[in-house]
Amino acid sequence: MKSKLITEWPNKAANRAMLRAIGYKNNDFNKFQVGIASTWSNITPCNNHINVLAKAVEYGVNSNLCKGIIFNTITVSDGISNGNLGMKYSLLSRDIISNSIEVVGKAQNIDGIISIGGCDKNIPGCIIGMCNLDIPSIFIYGGTILPGKNRTDIVSVFESLGKFYNKNISEKQLLNIEKYSIIGSGSCSGMYTANSMAIASECLGISLPNSSIQNAQSVNKIINCINSGNLIKILLNNNITIRKIINKESIVNSIKVISLLGGSTNCFIHLLAIAKCLKINLSLKDLQFETNNLPTISDLKPSGNFFISDLINTGGIQKFLKFLIDINLINGDLLTITGNTLKENLKFIKINYQSKILKNINNPIKKTNQIKILFGNLSINGCISKISGKEGEIFFGKTLVFNSEEESINYIYKKKIKNNTIIIIRYEGPKGGPGMREMLTPSSALIGVGVKNSVALITDGRFSGGSHGFVVGHVSPEAYVGGVISLINKNDLVVIDTINNFINLLLSKKELKKRLNSIKIVNKIVFGILNLYKKYSICSSKGALLDYE
Ligand code: FES
């Protein structure tokens, strides 16, 4: 037991004295010590309830003769930091969360860890932190929020703002949407980043079966927490660490399921980051190969009509996963935290998964995938597009260039944008932003002002899982390091082809070279920890992690 370093009698008497002061009894010192990393915070509905879940986990851990110790991490809320400078801290928070879990876990010499996450960055943060500890680990998703009045949610509010500025709704209507869209606790309710990463965690094998599709405020979520707490003892007895569970194939399983369900582009960055931290050889090209020919089968928001809570009401995703294993689309022979394989976990599940939300794979919502990985002279390291298909699959247009998100929003709300315009928002990458902000505000503004199907948006920043329209993000190399995106001028021609997966700036090599020679990099002044991210973050095509090595 690692924890003997703080619990062994008599040489650890001083450490034990400290532990007695926080409630330890004599027999607690002989038990496995299990850290419970809670991302509780009342700054956001996503995590507002997680203290209750942490207590349920502690109950489950202690009932199976282990000793649970709850500790907190920080969290930020993407829904609140979106559209302002706070978003620069969002992706960085993933790494601070993973670092904090690693630091507490190592300093406290815990034997096992259960982490609970409920927002876009704290879910991958928890997973990466557990990977760095490499001890028996379980991830618990905090669960989804229910839709608000008239089936609205956070994205409805962002999009209503564009409608308000375009005089399509009144101030009173906007206020009503603001008041009644988000009620209660839980993660944003569509197939956005949190729900997508939760499903990824189940496919990775590090969460209990069906736990990724649960309402935040539900009895099932509490039971899931107790059961997870109970289960850690088996992982500890058998020394099944997280690195024995997550591997290249489980990551590929996850990305395939997310792509089929029309999930968030952010999952690509997070799963690449998890692979990097585990030293798994996985590239954006590999992910393109694995997902390129998949259809889109779900009618979930942001592009579709349904919320995750609707999916819960129609039976979740277990039948669907079983079907994917049966047709060999995902690998069912991989180990999970139950000690069984993915396939064994699903052996009693019937495979008829189809519903109004999940369509027949042979008669999908869209024959091609909403998410496409593109390469070309505009992004030699690759970028990620997400299109529902309603906007067309090839976009050709003239550029309108902005060096920050704020510049673009001012323009979108105040000026009329011509059809076939390609908006470029650059210097928003990991180093250039710094922080690789999400462009939910500009993408929602384009929808709100009614030009969603006639305008495309390209950025070296990211998109929220809630973004839709013809959007291309993660352009790499980013502008700050001299990527071709930094060389674009107003009215240049760009073609985005999501059928053949390329993105090109239509300029001669001679002109590109000329512009490269006179390039003036925009260097944004930043303070404090953003300097750390600016200095040590790696390329978005590799997960945009802080890399200290
Ligand atoms: Fe936390 Fe959406 S802002 S899940």
Whether the CB of 188 sits within 6 Å of ligand 1: yes
Please give the CATH number for the structural domain made up of 372-542. 3.50.30.80
> Per-domain residue ranges for the chain?
31-146+188-346, 372-542
Whether the CB of 429 sits within 6 Å of ligand 1: no
DSSP H stretches of helix in 134-247: 154-165, 171-180, 193-204, 219-237
Structure tokens at 289: 């190969």
Residue 204 to residue 192: CA distance in whole angstroms:
18
**Angle separating helix axes 266-277 and 90-108, nearest 10 degrees:** 30
Selected catalytic residue, list 77, 408, 464, 476: 464
Tell me which amino acid residue 498 is. Answer: T
Residue 4 to residue 35: CA distance in whole angstroms:
15
How far, in Å, from the CA of 189 to the mean position of ligand 1? 9
How far, in Å, from the CA of 522 to the mean position of ligand 1? 31
Tell me which amino acid residue 545 is. Answer: L
Structure tokens at 115: 């982490």
**Angle separating helix axes 248-260 and 266-277, nearest 10 degrees:** 180
How far, in Å, from the CA of 317 to the mean position of ligand 1? 21
Whether the CB of 194 sits within 6 Å of ligand 1: yes
Residue 323 to residue 161: CA distance in whole angstroms:
41
For position 445, what pLDDT does the model report? 83
Residue 203 to residue 330: CA distance in whole angstroms:
9
Topology (CATH) of 31-146+188-346? Rossmann fold (3.40.50)
Whether the CB of 46 sits within 6 Å of ligand 1: yes
pLDDT in tens, 57-82: 999 999 999 999 999 999 999 989 98
For position 446, what pLDDT does the model report? 85
39, 40, 48, 78, best to mutate for ligand 1 pocket (most atoms within 8 Å of CB): 78
Residue nearest to atom 2 of ligand 1 (CA): 188
Alpha-carbon torsion (440, 441, 447, 452), positive or negative: negative
Helices and strands (DSSP H and E) totals, the chain: 20, 12
Residue 545 to residue 97: CA distance in whole angstroms:
12
Whether the CB of 28 sits within 6 Å of ligand 1: no
Strands 379-386 and 502-505, by their bridges, are unpaired
Structure tokens at 251: 């990551």
DSSP per position, 101-148: HHHHHHHHT-SEEEEEE-STTHHHHHHHHHHHHTSSEEEEE--BPPP-
How far, in Å, from the CA of 252 to the mean position of ligand 1? 24
Q: How many CA atoms lie within 13 A of 47 on its CB side?
A: 27
For position 158, what pLDDT does the model report? 83
pLDDT in tens, 210-241: 999 999 999 999 999 999 999 999 999 999 99
For position 469, what pLDDT does the model report? 79
540 is catalytic: no
Hey, which bits of 15-118 come out as E strands?
32-38, 66-72, 112-117
Whether the CB-CB separation of 154 and 182 falls below 8 Å is answered with yes
How far, in Å, from the CA of 119 to the mean position of ligand 1? 5
Show pLDDT as tens, one digit a residue, over the chain (549 residues): 999 999 999 999 999 999 999 999 999 999 999 999 999 999 999 999 999 999 999 999 999 999 999 999 999 999 899 888 999 999 999 999 999 999 999 999 999 999 999 999 999 999 999 999 999 999 999 999 999 999 999 888 888 887 888 889 999 999 999 999 999 999 999 999 999 999 999 999 999 999 999 999 999 999 999 999 999 999 999 999 999 999 999 999 999 999 999 999 999 999 999 999 999 999 999 999 999 999 999 999 988 999 999 999 998 999 999 999 999 999 999 999 999 999 999 999 987 888 899 999 999 998 999 899 999 999 999 999 988 767 788 999 999 999 999 999 989 888 788 889 999 999 999 999 999 999 888 888 888 777 777 899 999 999 877 677 789 999 999 999 999 999 999 999 999 999 999 999 999 999 999 999 999 999 998 889 999 999 999 999 999 999 877
Whether the CB of 119 sits within 6 Å of ligand 1: yes
